[in-house]
Chain A
């Protein structure tokens, strides 16, 4: 028994050490074709993900979307989709659905809000969805008759490529040494980067619920 504990402790030690050395996984390649996958024509709203909500501060829920994500058959083709349920609250809040850029992969979002009875109420797509930072996002308020948030990939734009120019400034500290003294100073530099990407069925979604301040 003691030797078993030692072995377990050793294994944990090795695992912890390996985890420390581990590098972030490479960004996913864009999935632009769902092949011959058989998909239902209506989303399954029975097992939604709960959205994190705090009436005092904004909360994020991030969901990866990959080849094993449920799929949906639509007029324009198949798509991958995620279902969330809005919180039960009387506190007014905004919802931001953001598709995060992962390397050269950008999930192409289309957002549909469903009622409790499973009928679609509103859709956000096309020009409703804009860049905020490096994320492609839509911002809205939930109506009383809207219960479920379905985010699906939009086959109309999947496969298209695009690019965004991003500028940034950085500041880093440096120290210059002389005889008997040292001077600390800051170096300011800038960067100008063109991010190329492909709209895809896969990627990463972050849904943020932000309580609105009381009037």
Chain B
């Protein structure tokens, strides 16, 4: 049953990526956006835990049975990785939120946190009125599919594990809910396209296989943290 859920997540991720592919990229235009000084970061849609994924492997050649086997193996890798990086005591969502706020401040914005209870994946349908949040615009960041962690394009030493983070983001003006910026930002994408802001992986954090990742959890955690920081900076860079 659990594996069935994982397979559904894999399919859901593929559907979500194809849905995002059709969204228009909207560039931020500071001169026409109005006076945007304070940005409210709404509660992000981000998986609680990272995933360690093989983007291609033999199991994919064997239909649903192969997918179930893959899902079981990935679940095992994820549990082991989560324990080794001590994720429970250093929750990645909180770290990314802090990185995002720091990156916006670096670009000269004041930042507030806007709590949105029980948010779903994907962008929010509506945003709080301007007077409620005391902000000029809302930054809505939603991770795509499994969101972040480590990815290897395939099996073998020529396709090592590297950190990844896949984000869809938009800036919405508080006064009239107009979308001022909208884009996809992927750190180390697999099959990146011209519609996605792509941030190349730092070669410092290269792990030839899962055993290598397992052998150095501190470096693995550092790599994920670095991916978060660079992703947040890439988002903030779209708002300068």
Footprint of B on A, CB under 8 Å? 94, 96, 98, 127-128, 130-135, 137, 139-141, 143, 163-171, 185-192, 194, 210, 212-213
User: A127-B240, A133-B194, A186-B60 are contacts. A165–B158 as well, Cβ < 8 Å?
Assistant: no
* SS class, residues of chain B in contact with chain A: loop
Other-chain residue from B56, B194, B196, B203 in contact with A165 (beta carbon distance below 8 A): B203
Q: Is the CB of B193 within 8 A of A141?
A: no
Instruction: Provide the residues of chain B in CB contact with A128, threshold 8 Å.
Output: 240
Q: Is the CB of B193 within 8 A of A133?
A: yes
User: A190-B159, A192-B158 are contacts. A139–B153 as well, Cβ < 8 Å?
Assistant: no
Q: How far is the CA of A23 from the CA of B68 in the complex (A)?
A: 44
Closest to B185 in A: A130
Q: How far is the CA of A134 from the CA of B26 in the complex (A)?
A: 20
B126 at the interface (CB under 8 A from A): no
Q: Is the CB of A167 within 8 A of B27?
A: no
Instruction: Provide the residues of chain A in CB contact with B25, threshold 8 Å.
Output: 94, 96, 139, 210
Q: Is the CB of B31 within 8 A of A131?
A: no
Other-chain residue from A132, A168, A169, A186 in contact with B196 (beta carbon distance below 8 A): A132
Q: Is the CB of A190 within 8 A of B201?
A: no
Instruction: Provide the residues of chain A in CB contact with B158, threshold 8 Å.
Output: 191-192
**How far apart are B179's CB and chain A's nearest CB, in angstroms?**
9
Q: Is the CB of A165 within 8 A of B154?
A: no
Instruction: Provide the residues of chain B in CB contact with A190, threshold 8 Å.
Output: 54-56, 152-155, 159, 190
Instruction: Provide the residues of chain A in CB contact with B152, threshold 8 Å.
Output: 190, 192
Closest to A169 in B: B56
Q: How far is the CA of A164 from the CA of B203 in the complex (A)?
A: 10
Other-chain residue from B58, B160, B196 in contact with A133 (beta carbon distance below 8 A): B196
Interface readout for B218-240 with A: 1 if CB under 8 Å, 0 if not?
00000000000000001001001
User: A130-B197, A132-B197, A190-B56 are contacts. A140–B29 as well, Cβ < 8 Å?
Assistant: yes
Instruction: Provide the residues of chain A in CB contact with B108, threshold 8 Å.
Output: none
